[in-house]
Amino acid sequence: MNATDHRAPPAREPRGRPAEQVPLCVDLDGTLLAGDSLYELLFAGLRRSPALVFLVLLWIWQGKAVFKAKLADAVDPSGLAYRFHDGVLAYLAAARAEGRRIVLATAAHRRVAEAIAAELGLFDEVIATEDGRNLRGAAKAAELVARYGQGGFDYAGNDRHDLPVWAVARRAIVVASGRSTIAAAAERVATVERVFPVAGFAPRPLFKAMRLHQWAKNMLVFLPVLAAHRLDDAAVLLQAGAAFLAMGLVASGGYLANDLLDVQADRRHRTKSARPFAAGTLPLPAGPPLVLALVLPGLLLAAVVSLPLAAWVGVYLAATLTYSLWLKQKVLVDVFFLAGLYTHRVLAGGIATGIVPSFWLLALSVFVFLSLALLKRYSELIKAGAAETGAPTAIRGYRAEDLEPLAGLGTASAVAAALVLALYVDSDNVRALYRSPELLWLCCPLLLYWLSRMWIGARRGVIDDDPLVFALSDRVSLVVLGLTLALAAAGTVLDIACVAGLGCR
Tens-place pLDDT, residues 172-191: 999 988 777 899 999 999 99
CA-CA-CA-CA torsion sign (476, 479, 485, 489): negative
Q: Please tell me the predicted confidence (pLDDT) of residue 119.
A: 93
Q: How many CB atoms lie within 10 A of CB 494?
A: 14
Q: Each residue of 265-317: pLDDT tens digit?
A: 899 888 888 999 999 889 899 999 999 999 999 999 999 999 999 999 999 99
Q: Are strands 4-5 and 192-197 parallel, antiparallel or unpaired?
A: antiparallel
Q: Each residue of 137-171: pLDDT tens digit?
A: 999 999 999 999 999 999 999 999 999 999 999 99
Residue 499 DSSP SS3:
helix
For residue 61, the surrounding DSSP H or E stretch is helix 52-61
User: What residues does 154 pair with on adjacent strands?
Assistant: 24, 171
pTM: 0.84
Q: Is the distance from CB of 464 to CB of 383 less than 8 angstroms? A: yes
Average pLDDT, the chain: 87
Ranges 1-5, 22-26, 441-445, 448-452: which has the least confidence: 1-5
Q: Please tell me the predicted confidence (pLDDT) of residue 13.
A: 47
Q: Is the distance from CB of 104 to CB of 123 less than 8 angstroms? A: yes
Q: What is the mean pLDDT of residues 51-59?
A: 88
Q: Rounded CA gap, 173 and 501, in Å? A: 88
Estimate to the nearest angstrom the gap between the alpha carbon of 3 and the chain centroid. 30
Residues near 166 by Cβ (< 8 Å), separated by ≥ 6?
155, 157, 172, 186, 189, 190
Q: Is 171 exposed, middle or buried (0-12, 13-18, 19+ CB in 10 A)?
A: buried
Q: Rounded CA gap, 206 and 184, in Å? A: 27
Q: How many CB atoms lie within 10 A of CB 344?
A: 20
329-338 — which CB contacts under 8 Å span 24+ positions? 329/396, 329/397, 330/397, 331/396, 331/397, 331/398, 331/402, 334/373, 334/377, 334/396, 334/397, 335/370, 335/373, 335/374, 335/376, 335/377, 336/370, 336/373, 338/369, 338/373, 338/376
The CA–CA distances, whole Å, from 364 to 96, 223, 338, 359, 425 equal 66, 12, 15, 9, 12
The CA–CA distances, whole Å, from 283 to 162, 169, 198, 295, 483 equal 19, 28, 12, 19, 46
The CA–CA distances, whole Å, from 388 to 378, 381, 479 equal 14, 10, 33
Q: Is 393 exposed, middle or buried (0-12, 13-18, 19+ CB in 10 A)?
A: exposed
Q: Each residue of 66-100: pLDDT tens digit?
A: 899 999 999 999 989 999 999 999 999 999 999 99
Q: Please tell me the predicted confidence (pLDDT) of residue 386.
A: 54
Residue 372 DSSP SS3:
helix
Q: Rounded CA gap, 165 and 168, in Å? A: 6
Q: Rounded CA gap, 412 and 429, in Å? A: 25
In terms of Cα–Cα distance, which of 280, 251, 248, 246 is closest to 263?
A: 280
Q: Please tell me the predicted confidence (pLDDT) of residue 440.
A: 87
SS3 of 289-348: the string is: HHHHHHHHHHHHHHHHHCHHHHHHHHHHHHHHHHHHHCHHHCCCHHHHHHHHHHHHHHHH
Q: Is the pLDDT of residue 9 over 50?
A: no
In terms of Cα–Cα distance, which of 97, 198, 115 is closest to 156?
A: 198
Q: Each residue of 387-415: pLDDT tens digit?
A: 555 444 557 778 888 889 999 999 999 99
Q: Is 9 exposed, middle or buried (0-12, 13-18, 19+ CB in 10 A)?
A: exposed
Which of residues 207 and 62 earns the better pLDDT score? 207
* Rounded percentage of the chain residues whose pLDDT exceeds 90: 61
Q: Please tell me the predicted confidence (pLDDT) of residue 20.
A: 58
The full DSSP string for 219-274 is GGGGHHHHHTT-TT-HHHHHHHHHHHHHHHHHHHHHHHHHHHHTHHHHHTSTTGGG
Q: Please tell me the predicted confidence (pLDDT) of residue 5.
A: 34
